[in-house]
Structure 1
Amino acid sequence: MALTDMASLLRDYRAVGAFNFVQLELAEAIVLGAEEAGAGAVLQLSENAVRFHGSLAPAAYAALRLADQASTPIVVHLDHATDEALVDEAIALGVPSIMFDAAHLPESENVERTREVAQRAHTAGVWVEAELGEIGGKGGAHTPGVRTNVDDAVAFCAATGVDALAVAVGSSHAMTHRDAQLDNDLIRRLARSVPVPLVLHGSSGVADSGIDAAIRAGMRKINIGTHVSAVMTHAVRKVLSTDSTIVDPRTYLAAGRSAVASEVARLLRVIVEGHIRVGAPGSTS
């Protein structure tokens, strides 16, 4: 069984790749990619994906089972949960890592609710990630030019007791072009001062070289969602465009799964090993 916890995964790698899935084939592809790379990975299910399915349990149980059967260590993680009841359900189901996102609330309420969630999660042995302010792309405070304040980040971690912190350093959610410019000097200052691992959200918009530089500066968890969804969609669209008679979903979903597995393996080599192949898509900013 390869289901593991976040602390163990972070202990074993310079940084970890965390990939969001919506449907089963995408989850399978992420695990296959991790196995191809021979590296651990994080399999993430967001609150929005849970809403798409209508409930947490089916997708969560599928992810936990995939992790159990994987040949490399896999963490199952609930991503961007704003609903405390959903967090509590994930903990009850055996999900070992959660992100509680109260960044849309006033600062004092964010701190209070995050602290309470962290206390409940820690009682169950569950890892807790949080966010200070909203990362760009969600209509929040972290639009271009806005950055996490180092002192605020230190105070937030001390007040809440979280295990990891997502910070705003120049990336943005839902980017389809890999041209975001990160503030690596800020990452270095945060890494020196913040007592927990730093998380880079919106990494779909960051080129390979930018991801590697951010890790070297101190980022430990690299979240990628939109990019792997785009890879799957492109592969599926390509198959369907070549033959209008196709009706079996397995035909095009297999192509999408294979394409994502290859890309996840490639990205994990960048994240875990710092392996950047010149000329590869997204290899430079």
Structure 2
Amino acid sequence: MTLVSTGELVAAAAARGGGVAAFNVITLEHAEAIAHAAEISQTPLIFQISQNAVSFHGGKVVPIAAAAGAVARLADVPIALHLDHVTEDGLVAEAAEAGFSSLMYDGGPLPYRENVERTSRARSAAQAAGLWVEAELGYVGGKPDAPRGAHEPGVRTDPDEARRFVDETGVDALAVAVGSSHAMTSRSAVLDIPLIERLRARLSVPLVLHGSSGVPAETLRAAVAAGISKVNIGTALNVAMTGAVRRVLAGDPRLVDPRTYLAKARDEITATVLDLLSVVSAGTAGSTGSTGSTGSGNSGNSGGSR
């Protein structure tokens, strides 16, 4: 299966009033496990590689992007490749050549005007290279250097300001702050569903939910029904992976072959992805199975009516 574009998958999800799941890839095992779940369920999804993951791999984006891209191409279900939480202009410039169809520029922690200026610059460079562009307005907490929490005053995305932001930057999708938080290891986040509905009604581009690992299943279903089209998930996979490794090593202190514990870790990631796909993509499996182009830049802009 040829890699598809993120814009295609998000636009298709928005058009049917559903969501597409985007899973963080840190290692080859992540990509293999996520793709296996996609094939089992016949559900299109997105591989996303964050700037932090690139830093983990020595600051070199091409090796991990090439590995994830190869896994996606060999899968029998459409998979897109997305570069997430970018703040470095140099990484924006490398994205298209590394095989990504899209990127998310993260100006969420910045003051409004600076966010507009930096996002607009990144958007111009990315779209000139044919990339679909996601941005963030409001502040989704939970990062290691987070100065604010997800429920503090002033962090939620304002619908009127969001409309102005999209008009000024020309981005293809918007990540919104509605109560979720990055890096949550328990599913206890409380989302503002009415705010999601107001944002959906006000904006002409698809909405993205970051920090979805911490959202209870029923709340996540409600968020998609209210207007979230792309659902980002990372920490839940790492919880599954790390738990499996710990259990295997604890069971055999003499074990030194990483294939033994990584195989179990991969299986646990697959099970976690399958569970989350059943929440995010229920009733939508295979609906974009015929897509195959890698084309890209602006197909996400059709997500406004839901």
What's the TM-score once normalised by structure 1's chain length? 0.93
The farther-off stretch of 98-107 and 179-188 is 98-107
| Partners of 1:216 and 1:157 in 2: CA distance | 22
Is residue 2:99 matched to residue 1:90? Answer: no
Quote the residue 2:4 is aligned against.
4
Contact 2:108–2:137 (CA under 8 A) maintained in structure 1 = yes
Aligned partner (choices 200, 207, 210) of residue 191 of structure 1:
200
| Partners of 1:91 and 1:99 in 2: CA distance | 13
Contact 2:3–2:79 (CA under 8 A) maintained in structure 1 = yes
Amino acid paired to 2:105: F
Contact 1:228–1:260 (CA under 8 A) maintained in structure 2 = yes
Quote the residue 1:211 is aligned against.
220
Q: How far did 1:104 drift? A: 2.8
Q: How far did 1:82 drift? A: 0.5
Aligned partner (choices 10, 27, 34) of residue 38 of structure 2:
34
Contact 2:137–2:176 (CA under 8 A) maintained in structure 1 = yes
Quote the residue 1:44 is aligned against.
48
Q: Which runs of 5+ in 1 are unaligned?
A: 276-285
Question: 3-state DSSP class of the match of 2:29?
Answer: helix
Q: How far did 1:60 drift? A: 0.8
Quote the residue 1:173 is aligned against.
182
Q: How far did 1:108 drift? A: 1.5
Quote the residue 1:61 is aligned against.
66
Quote the residue 1:162 is aligned against.
171
Quote the residue 1:221 is aligned against.
230
| Partners of 1:156 and 1:239 in 2: CA distance | 48
Contact 2:61–2:98 (CA under 8 A) maintained in structure 1 = no
Question: 3-state DSSP class of the match of 1:195?
Answer: coil
Aligned partner (choices 23, 26, 30) of residue 19 of structure 1:
23
1:25-73 deviation line (CA, Å, top 9, x unaligned):
1111111111111101111111111111111110011111111111111
- Give the number of aligned pairs: 275
Change in CA separation of 1:220 and 1:250 when aligned onto 2, cut-off 3 Å: same
Quote the residue 1:143 is aligned against.
150
Change in CA separation of 1:219 and 1:109 when aligned onto 2, cut-off 3 Å: same
RMSD, matched Cα: 1.4
Question: 3-state DSSP class of the match of 2:97?
Answer: helix
| Partners of 2:2 and 2:230 in 1: CA distance | 19
Aligned partner (choices 128, 134, 152) of residue 133 of structure 2:
128
Contact 1:2–1:72 (CA under 8 A) maintained in structure 2 = no
Q: How far did 1:12 drift? A: 3.5
Contact 1:133–1:140 (CA under 8 A) maintained in structure 2 = no
Q: How far did 1:94 drift? A: 2.3
Is residue 2:122 matched to residue 1:117? Answer: yes
Q: How far did 1:7 drift? A: 2.2
Amino acid paired to 1:22: I
Q: Which protein, 1 or 2, shows the higher relative CO under an 8 Å CA cutoff with sep ≥ 6?
A: 2
Quote the residue 2:294 is aligned against.
none
| Partners of 1:143 and 1:266 in 2: CA distance | 25
Q: How far did 1:245 drift? A: 1.3
What's the TM-score once normalised by structure 2's chain length? 0.87
Q: How far did 1:142 drift? A: 5.4
Provide runs of 4+ in structure 1 moved above 4 Å. Answer: none
Is residue 2:264 matched to residue 1:255? Answer: yes
| Partners of 1:178 and 1:272 in 2: CA distance | 18
Question: 3-state DSSP class of the match of 1:244?
Answer: coil
| Partners of 1:264 and 1:36 in 2: CA distance | 11
Contact 1:212–1:274 (CA under 8 A) maintained in structure 2 = no
1:183-227 deviation line (CA, Å, top 9, x unaligned):
000000000111111000000100111110000110011111111
